Amino acid sequence: MSASRCVQGPIYIRLNVECLKERLSDLAETDQIVKLSIFQELILKRYGFILNACVCNKSDSIYCVHISGGMLVYIISDVYNVHKIPSRLVSIAETVPDDTNKKLDIGFYWCWNFCLGKRWRTTSTGDERYQDTMLADFRSFCRNENNRMVLFWDEACERAAQLKATESSP
């Protein structure tokens, strides 16, 4: 790990939900928030992150660890905290008096796992170059470059509908 990376704070990666506006427009604000939070988890799962199983308190941050152990991602969402009203999330369908759309501020904080010693860092488990490539691709995905995020949204919704149909059939 380079010395400059060790002092670097988490990197904010905004999820471009503007491209999902039409797909969310028929949902209530709370349903939008829940659906987007689930989508955040699915994105992380797609990229090889697993949920930290050591969250002890409801106020603890929800974060995921990459299967290589070299990267951590914090989910920016108040959905998991049942004691607070969501503060960072605002409906993208709702308009303010001057007809300017409010933006839904949803995303991730990405950081490197400095607790993982050099002994465990190899090219097969995720060296620095691999981690930089992952971060670049993750940012590209979250910006919806090449429409990848929208395609994944549609795929996830289709799969959820199939599962729901399977569960409801006798």
* Alpha carbons 8 and 27: distance in angstroms, whole number: 38
Q: How confident is the model at residue 128 (pLDDT cuts 50, 70, 90)?
A: confident
- The answer to whether residue 98 scores a pLDDT higher than 60 is no
- The answer to whether residue 94 scores a pLDDT higher than 90 is no
Can you tell me whether residue 76 is helix, strand or coil?
Answer: strand
Residue-level length of the chain: 170
For the segment 49-64, the average pLDDT, to the nearest whole number, is 73
Query: How far does CA 21 lie from the centroid of its chain?
Result: 17
* Alpha carbons 18 and 24: distance in angstroms, whole number: 10
* Alpha carbons 18 and 168: distance in angstroms, whole number: 32
Q: pLDDT higher for 112 or 116?
A: 112
* Alpha carbons 50 and 129: distance in angstroms, whole number: 21
**pTM (predicted TM-score):** 0.76
Q: How confident is the model at residue 53 (pLDDT cuts 50, 70, 90)?
A: confident
Please provide the average confidence, as pLDDT, over all residues in the chain: 78
- The answer to whether residue 57 scores a pLDDT higher than 70 is no
* Alpha carbons 96 and 94: distance in angstroms, whole number: 7
Q: How confident is the model at residue 157 (pLDDT cuts 50, 70, 90)?
A: very high
